[in-house]
Amino acid sequence: MSWIDQSLPFAPLDFVGIALLIGAWLWIGWRIENPPPEKPSVGMIMDGYRRDWMKEMVTRQPRMFDAQVVGTMRQGSTFFASTTMIAIGGGLALLGNTERLAGLAQDLALGTAPALVWEVKILIILLFLANAFLKYVWAHRLFGYCAVLMAAVPNDPDDPTAYPRAGQAAEICVTAARAFNRGLRATYFALAAVAWILGPVALIAGTVATLAMLYRREFASHSRTVLLNTGS
């Protein structure tokens, strides 16, 4: 059976929806990490605050507060990695029992479809979740690197290695935060992909809603206004 024959159960609108889903995921990630200079995203603004944080850490004694903040970020990445792993396990279990999902769809008057259709829909969700899991795990490891670098910053601010090492810790922290945010975006679009179970129109609507939510949070939210307000 050729790939053309296998794609017959899918309508043209299904292909439009999945192309929109992947395109929206890639575009919003690129836009957030590469915003125009006159309109920075929340992620880029927070990167500046992280760099300022590490500079302040050099002269802060003791540094218990800084250690607690890094610990909290590691706990957050651990929580999301664990949750995503559970979701992946549930998806794999459902992948081997698509008949029950097909029966549920028939009960909801969503029509009937071959098992291949449901398997592909679940597989798309699992791919997004797997991407998110890998990002969360990498973020967790990078936050660990950041903690080690912070511990290596000399207590004496006059030490010539103090601020360079603080700068290294800041860049690792920025990289970790970006990995974590990429994991969050993949999780959001995995939830949007769940709407495909209801049909291609629901997938398109879910994708547009997710894209609009992410854009508003990064470029038009109240929190962004607060972060930009330096108090001057």
Tokens of 102: 């097909």
pTM for the whole structure: 0.89
Report in angstroms the alpha-carbon separations of 163 from 50, 62, 144, 157: 14, 17, 19, 7
Q: Is 187:128 a contact under the CB 8 Å cutoff?
A: yes
Q: Which of 5, 17, 77 is nearest to 209 (CA)?
A: 17
pLDDT of residue 118: 80
Residue type, 165: R
Look up residue 198 and give its DSSP letter. Answer: G
Q: Which of 89, 186, 182 is nearest to 128 (CA)?
A: 186
Unique residue bearing structure tokens 């903040």? 69
C-alpha dihedral sign at 55, 58, 62, 63: positive
pLDDT of residue 110: 53
**What pLDDT, in 10s, does the model give residues 57-84?**
999 888 899 999 999 999 999 999 999 9
Residue type, 29: G
Count of CB atoms situated within 10 Å of the CB of 96: 9
List the chain residues with pLDDT less than 70: 1-8, 98-115, 231-232
Q: How many helices (H) and strands (E) does the chain have?
A: 9, 0
pLDDT of residue 109: 44
